[in-house]
Structure 1
Amino acid sequence: MGSIRSRNPLPPLTKSLLLTSIMGLSSALCANPLVPDDIAYRPEGKVALSQNTGDAVVVGTAQLPASTTQPPSEAGADTPAQTHYLPQNQCADRSRDHNTLHKSLVITRFTRRNPQSANAGNLYAAEAGIPEMIRAQLTRTHQLLPPAMITQGFALPNLSETQLKQQAQKIARQTRAQFVLSGTIDDMAMTDASSTYNPGLYRQLANGFHNLTGIEKFDKRTRLFTLELELRDGFTGEPLLNRRYSASGVWNTRKAIGFDSPAFLKTPYGRNVAKLSGVISDDIAQTVDCQPYIASIDAHPGQTQVILQGGANNGLQAGAKMQLYQVIVVGSNSEYQVSETRLVRRPTQLHLSEVYPSHSTAVVEDGSYLNGHYLAVID
């Protein structure tokens, strides 16, 4: 008697899909028919976002567009020609790239418009996690001093532009930073929460197929991430970069894994959020590189020697010369308690005599005394 053998053994992939189907069928029989109430999802229609109409950068659903940051208008365009203000140069042609000096940046804790959108996966730490991701990218790949982090939020939607400027200036003074970065997380919702948390039989089979093959096309477990970012000059409070960033990816876990954890970064959604932080850091670095290096001056009446809040850590060297600018606060003629900070160039230079890691001493070249608030600029 001959032995009976299987003539057409199933390939390993087919066996895996069959096993996944059986598991999906068994779990469907006992599945909870309702999506948990605390899982945020995207309802029909568009979720209202802020009214910012700046550039948008998308990761996960479209190719990244080229960086097209538009330079803000120069302050004092209607002022007399003999008054020279410090321009906020964006150097789109890279002709005035100031990236040889290390500038200081402070990153605030981000705010969130819809706290419930973090419920799925317990991603409540995103307000601090995203700034930390950006900080790590900037420190690792760009010529910046390690950005400072503060736990204070910043970009609240109910603040006026004047209040935003004043808050940026206050934070910059407290942290001795040249730039202030803030952000608001608009959305972290799921487009179809039931696909992850209460899938039917067919969807469970489809989810198993996507998990097994790694194919993300047609996977319905999409989760969104939308962030509005703003970079401001710390001395004037003026915005230098205002842009909306978006990412999306498959959210294929029901576990409360938390934000920026190893498990989070293993999900397609987590990987795309991390990739987006790299794009953000590149945009920030490009904008910062194109700004003049500015250091605040501590001057005492009757002395020609001054102290600069910048030193060897910033790339300054003894013997270098820096241009002197005076900080002028101009009140509005039409609005109450509204003012604008301008940096006015003075026909005087500073000569760096001694340079230390975090500060420097300089001498005013013409021997004059400084009365008021002044800045030293390499422009």
Structure 2
Amino acid sequence: MARLISPWTPILLITLWLWAGLAQAEPTDELVRVDARGEAEIQYDDLNSARMRALRKAIENASMQVSAQVHSTQVMENGNLTVDYLRVNSAAQVRDIHIMSEGREGDLYAVDITARVASDQVCANVMANHYRKSVAVTGFSMEHPEQATLGHLGAVDRELAAYLVNGLSGMAGVRALNANGMTLYPNNPLSAPTQLSPRMTLTSAVDAAKSLGAQFVISGVIRDMAMENPDAPRARRWDGWLEKVGLSKASRTRHFVFDVFIHDGYSGALVFQSRYSTYGLWNERNNARVGFATGKFFGTDYGQEVDRLMRQAMSDIQQTIQCQPFMATITQVDGKRLFVDTGAASGLRPGDFLSVYRTSQHFDRQGEGFWQISDTRLVAEVKQVQPHFAIAELSIGSERLNLQMDDLVMGW
């Protein structure tokens, strides 16, 4: 098999290194040396695209050799098998990838690699990219707004979102946008996020993402901020002495429970959902003007517990988004050139390769609209990067793929 060498090989290897998550984690488990092969069909005589897909397949095969999980689902109706679904995924991380041979074999492009694989989980889809995904954090609805009266925490619906934005902005792989003036569940937070279409998507998340230019939309509901013993007296310095003689009083315990939802901005699909709960002592006067996320708030025992809880939520959000593919909208198509609506702020660099996807809207039997994303099986190479947009180039004319504005590019 002939070895094919091209001037973009170093750039592709750098991209592959980033895919494998080398910049994200240090080796923690024993590494296993494996050999793997990947093949991809060559379409439109585009070797770039076939090579990228063959490399991706080789990485997946290397990961499967070390750690694979098989999930099977079967659905029976009237004694007949109607759905037989088999899914195999891996939680192994692939490192130190070396291409041993590569080249065209008829209508296929084949790549043989050797790599070291660790079984520690990084991302469920095996590969983590280095791009910063745009995330819009909307305001949090309140299930019981009257519970925020104590301490004058009424701005918690907006301040909680702002606090998350500040924390997420310093994390890898996330570009957070403050949209706390917008809420996705203004009328019935009790049922959130069940205000979904039959396909389990939230159309308002798609609308919000398009208007804000974000890949993901974070929303949530504050479920509980109530005092456990609202009539309990405030703690005093001599309470400890009273306890020693057998006299005690109810503690001023206050709860904080909130839900976080992450929706994909292109399909409206729910990609993450979690509930966070804590409690702490609230010893402020009933008429004290504390405010949420202020210095005085975080000086209380309750505020410190809430701070720890929100940091845990931010860590979970960051991990979820980090393991998602990078996606951006095509804003203009000109021959072989594609204009992408994000640039240097997302970490795009000249020489990067992005997979190209078509989008189309369909309607189900109930008349609910949903978006379908189709892989063209081709890639575009980034040629120019500006602060707010980038230009990528295909190896063939875009008219052969019928690419339109609002189609997508994706980085794995």
Q: TM-score range by the shorter chain?
A: 0.5 to 0.7
Q: TM-score, normalization: structure 1? A: 0.68
Q: 1:293 maps to what in 2? A: 326
SS at match of 2:398: coil
Counterpart pick for 1:327 among 347, 359, 364: 359
CA distance in 2, matches of 1:128, 1:374: 33
Q: 1:346 maps to what in 2? A: 376
Q: How does 1:213-292 map to 2 (within 5 A)?
A: 220-254=251-285, 255-292=288-325
SS at match of 2:169: helix
SS at match of 1:152: coil
Q: 1:193 maps to what in 2? A: 230
1:333-377 CA-partner distances (Å, limit 9, x unpaired): 3xx221332211112221211111221011222223244341000
TM-align CA RMSD: 3.1
Residue 113 of structure 1: how far off its partner (Å): 0.8
SS at match of 2:210: helix
Residue 153 of structure 1: how far off its partner (Å): 0.9
Residue 116 of structure 1 pairs with residue 146 of structure 2: yes
CA distance in 2, matches of 1:289, 1:218: 47
Q: 1:13 maps to what in 2? A: none
CA distance in 2, matches of 1:207, 1:316: 61
User: Retained in 1: the 8 A contact 2:380–2:394?
Assistant: yes
Residue 105 of structure 1 pairs with residue 105 of structure 2: no
Q: 1:94 maps to what in 2? A: 122
Residue 330 of structure 1: how far off its partner (Å): 2.8
SS at match of 1:340: strand
Counterpart pick for 2:195 among 160, 165, 176: 160
Quick one: which amino acid aligns to residue 209 of structure 2? A
Residue 137 of structure 1: how far off its partner (Å): 1.6
CA distance in 2, matches of 1:100, 1:174: 25
Q: 2:24 maps to what in 1? A: none
CA distance in 1, matches of 2:371, 2:201: 13
CA distance in 2, matches of 1:218, 1:140: 43
Residue 149 of structure 1 pairs with residue 179 of structure 2: yes
SS at match of 2:342: coil
More RCO (CA 8 Å, sep 6+): 1
User: Retained in 2: the 8 A contact 1:98–1:293?
Assistant: no
User: Retained in 2: the 8 A contact 1:97–1:289?
Assistant: no
Q: Please say which of residues 134-143 and 220-229 is displaced more in the overlay.
A: 134-143
Residue 263 of structure 1: how far off its partner (Å): 1.2
1:70-93 CA-partner distances (Å, limit 9, x unpaired): x9x9xxxx99x9xxxxx9x9x993
Q: 2:340 maps to what in 1? A: 308
CA distance in 2, matches of 1:246, 1:207: 30
Q: 1:209 to 1:139 in 2, by over 3 A?
A: farther
User: Retained in 2: the 8 A contact 1:109–1:153?
Assistant: yes
User: Retained in 2: the 8 A contact 1:325–1:345?
Assistant: yes
Quick one: which amino acid aligns to residue 331 of structure 2? D
Quick one: which amino acid aligns to residue 322 of structure 2? D
Q: Please say which of residues 265-274 and 218-227 is displaced more in the overlay.
A: 218-227
Quick one: which amino acid aligns to residue 195 of structure 2? S
CA distance in 1, matches of 2:122, 2:337: 34
User: Retained in 2: the 8 A contact 1:133–1:274?
Assistant: no
1:289-336 CA-partner distances (Å, limit 9, x unpaired): 000000110134x63322101212111111221111111223213xx2
Q: 2:79 maps to what in 1? A: none
User: Retained in 2: the 8 A contact 1:348–1:366?
Assistant: no
Q: 1:310 to 1:205 in 2, by over 3 A?
A: closer
Q: 1:164 to 1:259 in 2, by over 3 A?
A: farther
CA distance in 1, matches of 2:274, 2:238: 34
Q: 1:122 to 1:321 in 2, by over 3 A?
A: same
Residue 218 of structure 1: how far off its partner (Å): 8.6
Quick one: which amino acid aligns to residue 196 of structure 2? E
Structure 2, unaligned runs of 5 or more: 1-70, 74-81, 94-119, 242-247
Identity of aligned residues (%): 24
Q: 1:354 to 1:291 in 2, by over 3 A?
A: same
Counterpart pick for 1:361 among 391, 396, 400: 391
Quick one: which amino acid aligns to residue 283 of structure 1? D
User: Retained in 1: the 8 A contact 2:161–2:180?
Assistant: no
CA distance in 2, matches of 1:164, 1:207: 55
User: Retained in 2: the 8 A contact 1:324–1:375?
Assistant: yes
- Structure having the higher Rg: 1
SS at match of 2:349: coil
CA distance in 1, matches of 2:249, 2:372: 53
User: Retained in 1: the 8 A contact 2:232–2:251?
Assistant: yes
Residue 164 of structure 1: how far off its partner (Å): 6.2
CA distance in 2, matches of 1:107, 1:322: 26
CA distance in 1, matches of 2:276, 2:165: 16
Residue 147 of structure 1: how far off its partner (Å): 2.8
Residue 130 of structure 1 pairs with residue 163 of structure 2: no
Residue 97 of structure 1: how far off its partner (Å): 4.3
- Give the count of matched residue pairs: 283
